Amino acid sequence: MFDRVFVNAVDADGNPLNLAVREGRFAAIGPERPAIGGAEVVDLAGHLVLPGFVDGHIHLDKSFVGDRWRPHRHVTSLRERLAIEKQELASAGPIVERADALIRQAASFGTIAMRSHVDVDATTGLTNLHAVMEAREKWRGVVDIELVAFPQAGVVSCPGTAEVLDAAAREGAQVVGGIDPTTLDGDADGQLDIVFGIAEKRGVKIDIHLHEPEQQGIDQLHRIASRTRAAGLNGRVSVSHAYGLGDVAPEVVDRIAAALAEAGVSIMTNAPGDRAFPPILQLRAAGVRVFTGNDNIQDAWWPYGNGDMLQRAMLVGYRSGFYTDEELGVALHMATEAGAAVLGKSGYGLKVGNEATFVVVKAPNAAAAVAAVPADRAIVRSGQFWGESSRVQFKVTAAGVGSAG
């Protein structure tokens, strides 16, 4: 016996799909309508069903969503950008309120999990981390949020930050971060010693921001892959951005891709608008997991973004020159299955036994959804319509009345 049956939907390929739910979990999924019995029936009217979105890289403590609009300010160096950011954030609303507003907005688009990088350093301490943890608690059970202790100001070059990173991991950050070990810290081995040391000591994962260009960036990736293998951290290390992969010749990418795949190091790219970025299809062909995220959203770094991971998938595809349905499917995979695997989200996806959580989109198939980013969508969590997504747009037949046509 099912509690609720969603009928007349389509899957990623545009094929008929029906989903039966019992006690908040998928009990049957397939092209054939299951026996209705006394279940409530929801007619999805030919809409597309997708798994919930996963934002693999976001900064909840930096965004001005929920605060006033702030015009972007031009700078000439990273250090100047960091100073501008501190000025802007000092006059912004409380982190808890801004983080809550951004989580709410992302959730309204269908995001059910995210990895948030949160600034920690010797001057900030754990203030930002504690604030985002507070915001996270409000969304527990709705949006799973994995936290990265992110040393925005550097590790070696900002004395005392190593101890703060360790404290963050001790207090619940599931991931320890790093940033540009050579260009920002001037000591690649020193930074990586600290980051990998904390990961091994505390049993946490690693996610390193890497903006270093060309061969310098490639050399850094080789260091990270080598340390990952030596530490036995296969599948627990990610590199965000990895711009150098977009700067070098294909044969250079082939060599480093093989090393990354062997070490199980994942690559996150948000397909930034002003920079070369990793060749997604080439990396995937080599066995490297590539995922995506929104990164900064309406903050001191850039004014763009709204938290919609379907829009992010479109931007990844647009900037990558993805035109075929298969390629557009890759962009969607980066915003769903790939990100879920990096975050270690169990019970994820449209499979029997998993939590019956999904996004309903007005589109004929997944490729069309990525290409057009329809605003018309509804969110189902544990088999129930959630939030402002209205069930009145679908025909619902109450239990015992009969099936919806």
Task: Report the domain count for the chain.
Answer: 2
Does 328 score more than 90 pLDDT?
Answer: yes
Shared domain for 266 and 325, answered yes or no, is: yes
Give the residue from 299, 322, 343 where a domain finishes. 343
Q: What is the pLDDT of residue 176?
A: 98
Shared domain for 179 and 117, answered yes or no, is: yes
In-domain check, residue 403:
no
Structure tokens at 343: 């975050």
In-domain check, residue 402:
no
Shared domain for 249 and 377, answered yes or no, is: no
Exposure string for 59-72, b = 16+ CB within 10 A, e = fewer: bbbbbbbbbeeeee
Q: What is the pLDDT of residue 72?
A: 94
What dihedral do alpha carbons 249, 295, 238, 273 form, nearest 10°?
Answer: 0
Does 389 score more than 80 pLDDT?
Answer: no
Inter-CA distances, 370 with 307, 323, 328, 332, 381, Å: 15, 11, 6, 7, 22
Does 301 score more than 60 pLDDT?
Answer: yes
CATH of residue 249's domain is: 3.20.20.140
Shared domain for 251 and 216, answered yes or no, is: yes
The one-character DSSP state at 244 is G
In-domain check, residue 255:
yes
Q: What is the pLDDT of residue 203?
A: 98
**Tens digits of residue pLDDT in 144-199:** 999 999 999 999 999 999 999 999 999 999 999 999 999 999 999 999 999 999 99
Q: What is the pLDDT of residue 404?
A: 37
CATH of residue 381's domain is: 2.30.40.10
In-domain check, residue 404:
no
The CA distance from 141 to 33, in Å, is 30
**Tens digits of residue pLDDT in 249-261:** 999 999 999 999 9
Shared domain for 97 and 42, answered yes or no, is: no
Shared domain for 379 and 311, answered yes or no, is: no
Q: What is the pTM of this model?
A: 0.96
Structural domain boundaries, residue 362: 4-52+349-397
Q: What is the pLDDT of residue 402?
A: 44
Shared domain for 93 and 33, answered yes or no, is: no
**Tens digits of residue pLDDT in 81-96:** 989 998 999 999 999 9
**Residue 140: HSE in the Cβ half-sphere, 13 Å Cα cutoff:** 7
In-domain check, residue 233:
yes
**Tens digits of residue pLDDT in 18-74:** 999 999 999 999 999 998 888 999 999 999 999 999 999 999 999 999 999 999 999
Shared domain for 73 and 188, answered yes or no, is: yes
In-domain check, residue 34:
yes
In-domain check, residue 41:
yes
Shared domain for 273 and 354, answered yes or no, is: no
